[in-house]
C-alpha cells in the first residue's frame, strides 16, 4: 500500500507465529559521505528519544511490553545502503495489552521524536554512542577475516563507495558531529525510499488499525531510486595484494566476477554452481583443498547477485600459499571441464531445498523475502517457480556458468608459519 510516493506499507498475514514483527527500512545510494552518519543514527534510534530520554527508560519500556525487542541495523545490497528498525512483540490476542499499538508508537517516537536540542542530537548521548562505535570499529581490526574481506572488496570494486563497509570505518566516523548527523537525518527523512513491513496473524480490524496508524506518520513524497544492482566491467589484469599480519593462520581470498543478477534465468544455476564449488560440506573446496590435500583449515565460497562478486575464502599456513592458490583455481577449472558427478548435482540441489524450507520458519527471513519482492516484483520467484527452476538446472548449465567466471583479485594476509 502506498502511503506517500516511495513510502510503502506491506502487511503480510502469517498464522504460524505468535508474534507480530515489524521492519521499517530506509534506503538510499551507498556513499562514503553518508554511511558513517547512518551508522550513528542506527545506534541513536535504539538508545533513547525525546520521550524515553535514557537507555534505562528505553529498556524498561520494552520490558513492560512483555519483553518486546527493538533493534536497529545497517546493511547494504548492490549499490544501496539500508538503515532499518526491527521490532517484535507478542501478538495482542495472547495478552491483555495492545502491543501492536505500543510498538507503532515506539517506532514513531524513534523516527520523529529524536533526543535533540537547538544545535543537533543531544550532546551527551551523541558523544557516548560515537565513542562506542569508534571503539567497536577499531576492534574489528582484530577480526582478521573481516579485515581480509574488506581488503578484497577494495581490490574488486572499481567504485570505492561500494567497497566501503556498510558499518563505515573509524576514520569516517571520527569526522562526524552531532550537528552534521542531525542535518543529514532531517534530509534523510524526506529523501530515502521507505518500506514498512508488518508480519503476523492480523484480522481485518487489526490490519485496518495498523494501516491507519502508519498512514498518520508525517512522511512526505520523495523521488524513486534507480536500480539496486551494481555493475562493473571485468578487469584486464588480476589485482594482487599481500600484507603481513601477526596471525598464526593466514587468510587467502579470491574474488571472481560473475554476470548473474537476482532473478535472472541463471539465478538457480548460480546457486548450484556455488554449492558444488564451496557452499556446502560436500563441495569441491572443502573435500579437496581441506580434507584430501589438508591445505586449508577452512575453504568455502559465497556469491552476491547484486554486485557480481563470487568470493572464495581459505585459512591456510603461509608456507602453503602457492599450492593452496593453485588448488583452489583448479577446483573452479574442474567445474569448467565438466567434472561434476550426478551425486554432487543431486546433493547440492537437496541441500539448497533444505535451506529454503528451513528459512520459511524464520519470520525475519519471510520479511526480507517480502522486501525483495516489493523491490523486484518482476524478478521474484515464488516457491513453486523456485523449486521448478532448481530441479531444471543441468550439469551443462553449471559448466556454462563456471566458464564465464573471471578472476579479478587475490588478497593474501600472510601470517606466521605454524611451527616457526
Q: How many helices (H) and strands (E) does the chain have?
A: 16, 11
Amino acid 412: pLDDT: 98
Q: How far apart are CA 213 and CA 34, in angstroms?
A: 30
pLDDT band at 96 (very low <50, low <70, confident <90, very high): confident
Average pLDDT over residues 210-234: 95
Ordered strands of the 80-90 beta sheet: 2-4, 7-13, 193-200, 19-29, 80-90, 69-77
| Portion of the chain with pLDDT greater than 90, in percent | 97
Q: Say what the alpha-carbon torsion angle 230, 234, 240, 246 is, to the nearest 10 degrees.
A: 20
Q: For residue 41, which of 187, 181, 195 has the smallest C-alpha distance?
A: 181
pLDDT, mean of residues 354-377: 95
Average pLDDT over residues 197-204: 96
Question: 142 Cβ partners below 8 Å, 6+ apart?
Answer: none
Extents of the domains making up the chain = 2-215, 239-414
What fold is seen in the domain 2-215? Cytochrome Bc1 Complex; Chain A, domain 1 (3.30.830)
Helices (H), 279-378: 284, 321-336, 342-359, 363-375
Burial of 268 (0-12, 13-18, 19+ CB in 10 A): buried
Mean pLDDT along residues 224-233: 92
User: In degrees, to the nearest 5, what angle opens at C-alpha 142 toward C-alphas 137 and 146?
Assistant: 75
* Interval 40-64 mean pLDDT: 96
| Average pLDDT score, the chain | 96
How confident is the model at residue 226, as a pLDDT? 80
Give per-residue pLDDT as tens, 298-347: 999 999 999 999 999 999 999 999 999 999 999 999 999 999 999 999 99
For the segment 250-307, what is each residue's pLDDT rounded down to a tens digit?
A: 999 999 999 999 999 999 999 999 999 999 999 999 999 999 999 999 999 999 999 9
Are 114 and 49 in contact, with CB atoms under 8 Å apart? yes
CATH number of 239-414: 3.30.830.10
Tens of pLDDT, residue by residue over 381-393, are: 999 999 999 999 9
- Do the beta carbons of residue 278 and residue 285 sit within 8 Å? yes
Is the Cβ–Cβ distance between 10 and 63 less than 8 Å? Answer: no
Q: Do domains 2-215 and 239-414 have the same CATH topology?
A: yes
127-158: pLDDT as tens digits = 999 999 999 999 999 999 999 999 999 999 99
Would you state the pLDDT for residue 420?
A: 44
3-state class of 15 per DSSP?
coil
Q: H or E segment at 88?
A: strand 80-90
Comparing 85 with 418, which gets the higher pLDDT?
Answer: 85
Q: Using pLDDT thresholds of 50, 70 and 90, give the confidence band for residue 418.
A: very low
Q: In the chain, what percentage of residues exceed pLDDT 70?
A: 99
Check residue 263 and give left, alpha or beta (phi > 0: left; psi -120 to 50: alpha): left
Name which of 241, 384, 368, 231 is nearest 304 in CA terms: 231
Amino acid at each position: 500500500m502506498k502511503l506517500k510516493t516511495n513510502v510503502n506499507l506491506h502487511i503480510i498475514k502469517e498464522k504460524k507465529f505468535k508474534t507480530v514483527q515489524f521492519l521499517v527500512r530506509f534506503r538510499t545510494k551507498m556513499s562514503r559521505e553518508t554511511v558513517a552518519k547512518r551508522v550513528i543514527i542506527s545506534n541513536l534510534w535504539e538508545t533513547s528519544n525525546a520521550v524515553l530520554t535514557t537507555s534505562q527508560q528505553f529498556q524498561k519500556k520494552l520490558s513492560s511490553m512483555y519483553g518486546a525487542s527493538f533493534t536497529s541495523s545497517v546493511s547494504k545490497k548492490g549499490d544501496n545502503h539500508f538503515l532499518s528498525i526491527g521490532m517484535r512483540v507478542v501478538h495482542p490476542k495472547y495478552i491483555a495489552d495492545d502491543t501492536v499499538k505500543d510498538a507503532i508508537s515506539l517506532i514513531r517516537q524513534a523516527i520523529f521524536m529524536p533526543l535533540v536540542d537547538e544545535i543537533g542530537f543531544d550532546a551527551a548521548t551523541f558523544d557516548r554512542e560515537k565513542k562506542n562505535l569508534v571503539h567497536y570499529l577499531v576492534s574489528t581490526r582484530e577480526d582478521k577475516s573481516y579485515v581480509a574481506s574488506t581488503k578484497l572488496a577494495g581490490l574488486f570494486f572499481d567504485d570505492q563507495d561500494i567497497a566501503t563497509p556498510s558499518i563505515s570505518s573509524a576514520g569516517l566516523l571520527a569526522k562526524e558531529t552531532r550537528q552534521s548527523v542531525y542535518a543529514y537525518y532531517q534530509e534523510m527523512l524526506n529523501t530515502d525510499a521507505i518500506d514498512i513491513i508488518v508480519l503476523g496473524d492480523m484480522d481485518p480490524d487489526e490490519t485496518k488499525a495498523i494501516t491507519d496508524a502508519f498512514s498518520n506518520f508525517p512522511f512526505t513524497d520523495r523521488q524513486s531510486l534507480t536500480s539496486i544492482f551494481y555493475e562493473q566491467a571485468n578487469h584486464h589484469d588480476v589485482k594482487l595484494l599481500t600484507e603481513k599480519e601477526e596471525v598464526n593462520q593466514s587468510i587467502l581470498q579470491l574474488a571472481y566476477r560473475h554476470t548473474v543478477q537476482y532473478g535472472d534465468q541463471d539465478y538457480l544455476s548460480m546457486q548450484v554452481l556455488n554449492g558444488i564449488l564451496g557452499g556446502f560440506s560436500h563441495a569441491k573446496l572443502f573435500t579437496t583443498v581441506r580434507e584430501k590435500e589438508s591445505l586449508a583449515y577452512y575453504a568455502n565460497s559465497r556469491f552476491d547477485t547484486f554486485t557480481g562478486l563470487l568470493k572464495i575464502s581459505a585459512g591456510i599456513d603461509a608456507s602453503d600459499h602457492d599450492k593452496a592458490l593453485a588448488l583452489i583455481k583448479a577446483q573452479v577449472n574442474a567445474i569448467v571441464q565438466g567434472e561434476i558427478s550426478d551425486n554432487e548435482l543431486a546433493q547440492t540441489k537437496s541441500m539448497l531445498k533444505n535451506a529454503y524450507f528451513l528459512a520459511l520458519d524464520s519470520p525475519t527471513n519471510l520479511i526480507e523475502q517480502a522486501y525483495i519482492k516489493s523491490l523486484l516484483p518482476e524478478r521474484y520467484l515464488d516457491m513453486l517457480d523456485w523449486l521448478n527452476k532448481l530441479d531444471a538446472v543441468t550439469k551443462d548449465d553449471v559448466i556454462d556458468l563456471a566458464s564465464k567466471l573471471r578472476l579479478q583479485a587475490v588478497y593474501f594476509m600472510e601470517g606466521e608459519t605454524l611451527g616457526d
